[in-house]
Structure 1
Amino acid sequence: MPTTTRDGTTLQYRTDGDGATVAFVPDIGVGPWFWGWQHAGLAGPFETLTWAMRGTDGSDPPAGPCSVATLANDLDVVLRDHGTDSVHLVGSGLGAMVALHYARNSGRVRKLALLAGAATGDAYDPEPLFADPADAGACRETLSPALSADFRAEQPDVLDGIADWRGDEDADRESWENQRAALDGFDAEPLYEVDHPTLVVVPGADELLDPEAGRRLADELPRGEVVTYPDASHFVGIERSRPVNDALLGFFESED
């Protein structure tokens, strides 16, 4: 897979498909596996770009605590290395905050889709999600706060697969903590400066990020629109992959 380097840190990414580029910005500590459901749904009509944040999969670990700006600058280097001048961004959790920051500070972004997102870092408590990648049991058990009880009961094989992928690609404790530091003090205000068409996907049963923060985000963005899945938890793109993918396709294919 292609790699690029920023400040001595190697960053790995992957692209598939043709057409306008959709880049995916992952949640805290998770590898590119996280976007497998959306990647499969959008590659073809679009070119998809998935990126391993520092400390996950084939990217080097962070040298110290990250900021949202650090992660957004990493994204910029990946997009420049690939030759991407115009991009739709999809971010989840911490990745939604990185996407917001990047959209404000870059001329590359056309549209935003923010899953389980918020305008401030203090709205998100990801600690229950962490698992040591070497602990297969924990990789499965700590999915409980991220996926609803119904989904876990109905799709145990999916949970087993996710646990395996987490063991292969997710961040260890040190890298996870350095990513988590990006939440400290993050504030995307003033949101009126982010005037891109933005789809905000709110999982109504999110245990890690207050759903009201997502609704406020949609209300305060000048061109924000919201879609809510009342019974879905934090990993809404996995739980509701088909309707979420349909919403993303319709949003990105529509006229600005």
Structure 2
Amino acid sequence: MASARPDPSTSRKSTVTASDGVRLYVEESGPRDGAVTLVFVHGFCMTADAWTFQRRGLGDLGRTLCYDQRAHGRSGPSEAEHCTIAQLADDLRRVLDDRVPTGQVVLIGHSMGGMTILGLAEAHPELFGERIIAVGLLSTSAGELPRLAFGLPAAVGAAARRVLPGMAVGMRHAPSLLERVRWKGSSLSRTLTRRLGFGAARVPEPVVDSLETMVANTPIPVVGAFLPTLLDHDRLAAAAALRDIPTLLLVGDADVMTPIEHSRILAEALPEAELAVEEGAGHAVILERPDAVNARLRDLVNRAVPEGILAGRWSAPPGSVRVG
């Protein structure tokens, strides 16, 4: 019988020390000795709180763990030279070694969190198989982010991409003006959150609030420190480590941050993976379509652990299209 689903507000809180001394904030729920642990890795300018719907909706599967990536949320600050995908991958390895030393793991990453998982696959492909038994890459890219248009007209998007490297430097060294411009609750902040985070359909105001709060609370210098590694990210070859385990690629077709083409490129590299497209959903699909995302993730775990952690198989939620 499935256990009661834990409330993230009552989870166990601790810290893990990264290789360079940064303290990483960690939250866990469910049995400490669970056979399978679901580890959630959040995206850029977000925190572990982004996974609230998934932790509540999937808590009956057993143990769940999430953490704030370095320089985000309640984790410690980081030197700019350590704000890289390679370092984030090493942080994830530390969290696994410290908090999940035994048992099998399902890794679930959103956006930069998915890139972190690909970074781990590049550095430690041997972990993917008996140890890491399934992976979910949600709204994730393996590379080519400099080609993004962010939903802008082609000419405007090209101009924006040209100034991004200079903007990253400015964000790190002269952030005060940008902090004032993006003031939380302003009409500009609200408009950007809706445009870059969600699709066209109406999203509950508390959900928009939660994303806006996470983004607004990420200091501008942190945004600038991570931009170079996101623009340089190229780990398509690392996806080979995932070929022999169940893998879910999920994306909204209205995502302007990591558009559907990026998931299709990953799907070509991982022909056995499931590519799931959420019609009308934007980048923050885990907040915008939590029931659909949870259904896909439940099916992923069911495929990875066929002996019956779940009572039933997947059934398609409304508004979703099963591609692979």
Unaligned runs of 5+ in 2: 1-12, 151-163, 165-170, 172-177, 306-324
Show CA shifts across 1:129-151 (max 9, x none): x9859832155433111112313
| Equivalent residue number for residue 249 of structure 2 | 200
- Work out the CA distance in 2 between the residues paired with 1:125 and 1:49: 34
Deviation at 1:24, TM superposition (A): 0.9
Shift of 1:78: 1.3
1:47–1:9 Cα change, 3 Å = same
Matched, 1:70 2:87: yes
1:42 is aligned with what amino acid? L
Equivalent-residue separation in structure 2 for 1:10 and 1:47 (angstroms): 22
Structure 1 residues 90-101: aligned runs within 5 Å: 90-101=108-119
CA–CA distance in 1 between the matches of 2:301 and 2:264? 20
Is the 8 Å Cα contact of residues 125 and 209 (structure 1) preserved in structure 2?
no
Q: Which residue of 2 aligns with 1:4?
A: 16
1:146 to 194, 197, 204: 197
Deviates more, 1:117-126 or 1:190-199: 117-126
Tell me which residue corresponds to 2:174: none
Evaluate the alpha carbon distance shift between residue 56 and residue 124 of structure 1 in structure 2; reply closer, same or farther with a 3 A threshold.
Answer: farther
Query: What does residue 300 of structure 2 align with?
Result: 251
> With CA pairs under 8 Å and 6+ residues apart, which has the higher RCO, 1 or 2?
1
Rg comparison, structure with higher value: 2
Q: Please give the residue correspondences for 1:59-138 in structure 2 after superposition, counting only pairs within 5 Å.
A: 59-65=75-81, 66-85=83-102, 86-104=104-122, 105-106=124-125, 107=127, 108-122=131-145, 132=179, 135-138=183-186
Deviations 1:182-224 (A, max 9, x none): 2132211323343232100021011112211112212221431
Where 1:36 maps in the other structure, the secondary structure is: helix
* 2:134/2:304 contact within 8 Å kept: no
Q: For 2:214 and 2:262, how far apart are their aligned partners in 1? A: 29
Q: State the distance in 2 between where 1:120 and 1:208 align.
A: 12
Is residue 73 of structure 2 the alignment partner of residue 57 of structure 1? yes
> Any idea what SS the aligned residue of 1:136 has?
coil
Question: Does 1:28 find its partner at 2:44?
Answer: yes
- Kept after mapping to 2: 8 A contact 1:194/1:222: no
Aligned equivalents of 1:189, 1:223: Cα separation in 2: 15
SS of the equivalent of 1:8 reads coil
- Alpha-carbon distance, 1:17 to partner: 1.6
**Distance in 2 between the 1:14 and 1:237 partners?**
18
The aligned residue for residue 236 of structure 2 is 189
Q: Structure 2 CA distance, aligned partners of 1:232 and 1:48?
A: 25
Q: What do residues 57-79 of structure 1 show as CA deviations (whole Å, max 9, x unaligned)?
A: 22111211422110010011111
CA contact (8 A) 1:151 1:239 kept: no
2:226 is equivalent to residue 179 of structure 1: yes
Once the two structures are overlaid, the 10-residue window that deviates more, 193-202 or 231-240, is: 193-202
Tell me, in whole angstroms, the C-alpha distance in 1 between the residues paired with 2:85 and 2:138.
17
- 1-structure distance, mates of 2:198, 2:292: 16
TM-score scaled to structure 2, two decimals?
0.70
CA contact (8 A) 1:10 1:60 kept: yes
CA gap of 1:136–1:250, structure 2 versus 1, over 3 A, is same
Q: Which amino acid aligns with 2:242?
A: V
Note if contact 1:31-1:171 (Cα within 8 Å) is conserved in structure 2.
Answer: no
- Matched to 2:219, the amino acid is D
Q: Deviations over 1:92-150 (max 9, x none)?
A: 111111112213415142111011112115266788xx985983215543311111231
Contact 1:29 1:179 in 2 (8 A): no
| Partner secondary structure for residue 44 of structure 1 | helix
Aligned residue pair count: 250
Identity %: 27
Rounded Cα–Cα distance in structure 1 between residues aligned with 2:50 and 2:183 = 18
Q: RMSD of aligned C-alpha atoms?
A: 2.5
* TM-score, normalised with respect to structure 1: 0.87
The residue type paired with residue 118 of structure 2 is L
Equivalents in 2 of 1:255, 1:194: separation in Å?
Answer: 13
